[in-house]
Structure 1
Amino acid sequence: MTTPTSARSITWARRRSTLARFWRDFRSHNTAIAGLAILAVFALIAIFAPLLADPDGLNVAKATAKGHQPPSADYWLGTDQNGLSILTLLVHGTRVSLIVGLSATAIAIVIGTLVGIMAGFYGGWARSLLMGFTDWFLVIPFLPLAIVLATVLGASLVNIIIVIGVTSWPGTARLVCAQTLSVRSRPYMERAKALGAGDWHQMTRHVLPNVMPVVVAHVVLTVSIAILSETTLSFLGLGDPTQQSWGNILDSAYGTGAMSNGEWWFVLPPGICVVLVVLAFTLVGRALEVVLNPRLKEG
């Protein structure tokens, strides 16, 4: 009766040891800790956005200030063309931009992981078909394809998430397929097959856990690409006009001539936010690649 409990305790002890070793290696990268701190700040801003900035400040009908005001004691980052506080728009735009980035990344990772594992595991005609479909997406330039899809589906937050998600998975599929081919050739896969393990068991119990470290590192880098994509589409006027995001703020600044009029408070803050978040995700992602990939760690 004590054997299952003992085996379970050994398993959890190994997991705790692995996590402790992972955190020790991760925190040795100062740039990764800096990126993690930046992401924590933006995550807190997104979570507590309604408390940090009154949602009524997004309502044009309730705006009382003049448009295009420079920064002042009442409006720390000035106002936009409608008299809305730029700071309020930035705070609430943080939530929208992060939601789009994380949601679109989740879609891309799920699709890319499924396609990559199936292509690498089955091989043959299945790999040729799936990788050919993946290459078709890779050949088509991302931005024109995203613009076409966003135009066809319409301007809404959900559609933007779908557009970015379904156009961002090919890189993940390629990466997971290569890793799956490596895992499939290992001896324990032959033993599992000889013991009667089915395809689903092999893919979920043996292949997926071994490709997850690569997927996790790739997820963090994909989020930054998704946020940049949302900013680009919104700047081009294809974002959801009812939701404030950093891209929408930049689009409004460009449309009202803020750049040519020297209204730096309308242009720099959202641009800096985009740069900081993308840089933070990139720093964390690069560190994860080194920690989770023994070859890079040795180098």
Structure 2
Amino acid sequence: MTSTEPTAPSGTNASSGTNASSGTTPATESSPATASTPSTKSSLIWARRRSTVARFWASYRTRRAGLLGLAGLTLIALLALTAPWTVGADVQSVTQAPGTALEPPSAEFPLGTDQFGRSLLGLLIWGARISLLVGLLAAVLSVAIGTLVGIIAGHYGGWFSTVVMRITDWFLVMPTLVLAIVLATVMSRSMWTVVLAIGVTSWPTTARLVRAQTIAVESRPYIERATALGGGHGHVMGKHVLPNVMPLVLAQTTLGISTAILTEATLAFLGLGDPTVVSWGGMLQDARDAGAVSSGHWWYLAPPGIAIALVALAFTLCGRAVESVLNPKLGVGR
């Protein structure tokens, strides 16, 4: 009997062990659900982003001017991207020019030729690559600097914000083109010099706009809750402020590209661009050097000038449409 008495407790222990193991089994079975929680959150985040993009596009396509500008930019971008296959890199060569100097428009050369006998249509398409690339990179650099300065100045405030804003005001009152000319003159002549010269001289407007938006965002109650829960400066600026100023940054970038393209064309026209590449501003400089103005060779001047104006107009139309979608209070006409 004594030998059987321990058997009962051991059986009880075994059963309790079974219950314990069975009690751990559901936890083990529920672990995949716990592991799938991040993927569920990720899918929800992407679903919200797709919904946001869909709402943005539904509102944007009601802006006829914005659609017109987007269609024009799409066409020009396709021409620029396919330039190596449609016109070829040989169009830039002055030793393999297919025509004679300064031929007027004809069936063979729809826009005429330059002083080296190169097709102006081919140069115009190839030059779109440099003009669009420089405009895009310079605008992104400018907006990135302005956003960083604006968020930091708006977040910390106090004497630091005052000093930063006084420096910003100094850049703001100085002529952007003059500063860009100075930088492009003292640095080596290249495409990256032009990008840097435009980017580091045109950020103050973005900085002031972003600073004002940052101050407005940080006055909201959830910023105080995030700080009370232990959120540091980087968390507040990166997780709360930056997402709220991104619509403003996007609109400012779109509008800044047209200004950057015009500035690049001006620098190239003044002889401060990259002489090894073809751009629309460089074509205008070559036309001036060839005496196209005094000689009446209008086909040399008109195409690059019209192209610059059309691209700047297209980016402006897109920027205004984006701004009106992101901020309906502006009441911009459709």
TM superposition score category, shorter chain reference:
over 0.9
Give CA-to-partner distance per residue, 1:2-49, whole Å, 9 cap, x none. Answer: 544444433333222221111111000001000000000111111111
Q: Following superposition of structure 1 onto structure 2, how do residues 56-67 of structure 1 map, counting pairs within 5 Å?
A: 56-67=90-101
Residue number among 136, 140, 161 corresponding to 2:170 in the alignment: 136
Moved segments of 4+, more than 6 Å: none
| 2:312 corresponding residue in structure 1 | 278
| 1:170 corresponding residue in structure 2 | 204
Indicate conservation of the 8 Å contact 1:45/1:91, yes or no.
Answer: yes
Give CA-to-partner distance per residue, 1:55-106, whole Å, 9 cap, x none. Answer: 1121111124211111112211111111111111101100000110011111
Letter in 2 for 1:178: A
Indicate conservation of the 8 Å contact 1:97/1:227, yes or no.
Answer: yes
| 1:159 corresponding residue in structure 2 | 193
| C-alpha distance in 2 between matches for 1:156 and 1:31 | 35
| C-alpha distance in 1 between matches for 2:38 and 2:46 | 12
Indicate conservation of the 8 Å contact 1:180/1:207, yes or no.
Answer: yes
Q: Structure 1 stretches of 5 or more lacking a match?
A: none
Cα shift at 1:148:
1.1
Tell me the secondary structure at the aligned position of residue 260 of structure 1.
helix
25-34 vs 59-68, which deviates more?
59-68
Higher-Rg structure is: 2
Question: What TM-score does the superposition give when structure 1 sets the normalisation length?
Answer: 0.96
Tell me the secondary structure at the aligned position of residue 293 of structure 2.
coil
Root-mean-square deviation over aligned CA pairs:
1.4
Residue 134 of structure 2 corresponds to residue 88 of structure 1: no
TM-aligned CA distance change 1:160 to 1:5, over 3 Å? closer
| C-alpha distance in 1 between matches for 2:176 and 2:138 | 14
TM-aligned CA distance change 1:157 to 1:273, over 3 Å? same
Q: Alignment identity in percent?
A: 56
Q: Following superposition of structure 1 onto structure 2, how do residues 61-210 of structure 1 map, counting pairs within 5 Å?
A: 61-210=95-244
Residue number among 237, 240, 246 corresponding to 1:212 in the alignment: 246
Question: What TM-score does the superposition give when structure 2 sets the normalisation length?
Answer: 0.87
Q: Structure 2 stretches of 5 or more lacking a match?
A: 1-32
Aligned residues: 299
TM-aligned CA distance change 1:3 to 1:54, over 3 Å? closer
Indicate conservation of the 8 Å contact 1:109/1:215, yes or no.
Answer: yes
Indicate conservation of the 8 Å contact 1:52/1:91, yes or no.
Answer: no
Indicate conservation of the 8 Å contact 1:234/1:240, yes or no.
Answer: yes
Q: Following superposition of structure 1 onto structure 2, how do residues 238-249 of structure 1 map, counting pairs within 5 Å?
A: 238-249=272-283
| C-alpha distance in 2 between matches for 1:3 and 1:67 | 69
| C-alpha distance in 2 between matches for 1:106 and 1:7 | 31
| C-alpha distance in 2 between matches for 1:253 and 1:26 | 39
Residue 299 of structure 2 corresponds to residue 291 of structure 1: no
